[in-house]
Amino acid sequence: MEKVTLPGLAEKKRRGEKITMLTAYDLPLARLLDEAGVDLILVGDSLGMVALGYPSTVPVTMEEMLHHAKAVRRGVKRALLVGDMPFMSFNLSRKETVRNAGRFMKEAGCDAVKVEAGQGSPASLAAAAAIRAAGIPVLGHIGLTPQTAGLLGGFKVQGRSARQAKQFVAAALQLEKARCFGVVMECVPSELAALITRRLSIPTIGIGAGPACDGQVLVTQDLLGLGRAFKPRFARAFAHLDRTILKAIAQFRREVESGAFPSREEGFSMPPAELRKLRRGGVK
Ligand code: KIV
């Protein structure tokens, strides 16, 4: 399979071919996603809640994101790798914003970054534009943006009123104008996502945004049914790994306790002459 490129993603939209994106925080999963032919791999700041046990994505730091992005990079050969700008890594100043985006590229080897723009706050739109102007590919993110969920009234569907929907259309157009290569839309009504998808020349990637988007993204742990108590309506589980893993661990415990694991074949032995020498030396 050919390496995924930005022009290739734009071409997929033109041809009406769907785009796939999934999250990864470590090498083993990244390698599997890449092998399965997923177009984009996102080192999402969902890392904070899914893998680090934080109550929200707000505490996630640049250092944590880079640490995980580097591991993911080592497992990805074909997909486009996107690093998620964590809360307060952009918006403080233009210089700081561009420097942090640059760290994802230089230190972690990402191909692009994602910026949460919520309802299109001027500061976030300016951050996306500044990063792109510095020559770094940017993926915008509108709708329910977890870093600012408090301002949006919590983890709720966004853009249900005509007034708010208009704000999202404007934000998406602004991100396109800032030369973002795509826009993630999270938890917005399907009709609004379809309208924005028609209006934009760049691809839209939905999560809880209905089937009309140019692509779909999920948190990989959700699709695998792995370790998440909270399951949003859109997070279809394509597998139930929690059960499989629990069964395997319980079997390990039983077999250690009964002596069935490990077997002789799963161990190593000393050469007989060395064993004899050891015994002659008085060590029994
Ligand atoms: O952080 C993340 O995983 C995300 C996706 C859910 C789009 O932003």
Instruction: List where CATH 3.20.20.60 sits in the chain.
Output: 6-239
Instruction: Report yes or no: 91 and 123 within 8 Å, Cβ to Cβ.
Output: yes
**Ligand 1: distance of its center to the CA of 114 in Å?**
9
Cα 252 to middle of ligand 1, angstroms: 34
Q: What is the DSSP letter of 3?
A: P
Rounded CA-CA distance 225/221 in Å is 6
- Tens of pLDDT, residues 213-225: 999 999 999 999 9
Whole-model pTM? 0.95
DSSP code string of 132-183: HHTT--EEEEEES-GGGTTTTTSS-----SHHHHHHHHHHHHHHHHTT-SEE
pLDDT tens by residue, 224-247? 999 877 788 999 999 999 999 999
CATH number of 6-239, picked from 3.20.20.60, 1.50.10.20, 3.30.420.40, 3.30.830.10: 3.20.20.60
The pLDDT confidence band at residue 284, using thresholds 50, 70 and 90, is: confident
- Which residue minimizes the CA distance to atom 2 of ligand 1? 44
> Does 84 sit in the ligand 1 pocket, CB within 6 Å?
yes
- Nearest ligand 1 atom to the CA of 23 is 3
What tens digit of pLDDT does each residue of 13-22 get? 999 999 999 9
**Residues 130-162: tens digit of each pLDDT:** 999 999 999 999 999 999 888 888 889 999 999
**Hey, what long-range contacts does 11-16 have (CB within 8 A, 24 or more apart)?**
12/39, 12/203, 12/214, 12/215, 13/201, 13/202, 13/203, 13/214
Which residue is closest in CA terms to ligand 1's atom 1?
Answer: 44
User: Across-strand partners of 21?
Assistant: 40, 217
Q: Which atom in ligand 1 lies closest to the alpha carbon of residue 146?
A: 8
Structure tokens at 225: 């049914």
Residue ID of nearest Cα to ligand 1 atom 5:
44
254-268: average pLDDT = 97
Q: Cβ of 257: how many Cβ atoms within 10 Å?
A: 9
DSSP character at residue 239 = -
The Å distance, Cα 264 to ligand 1 centre, comes to 46
- φ, ψ for residue 260 (rounded to 5)? -75, -15
- What is the set of active-site residues? 186
Which of 219, 223, 231, 236 is the best mutation target for the ligand 1 pocket, counting ligand atoms within 8 Å of the beta carbon and taking the most?
Answer: 219
How confident is the model over 168-193, as a mean pLDDT? 98
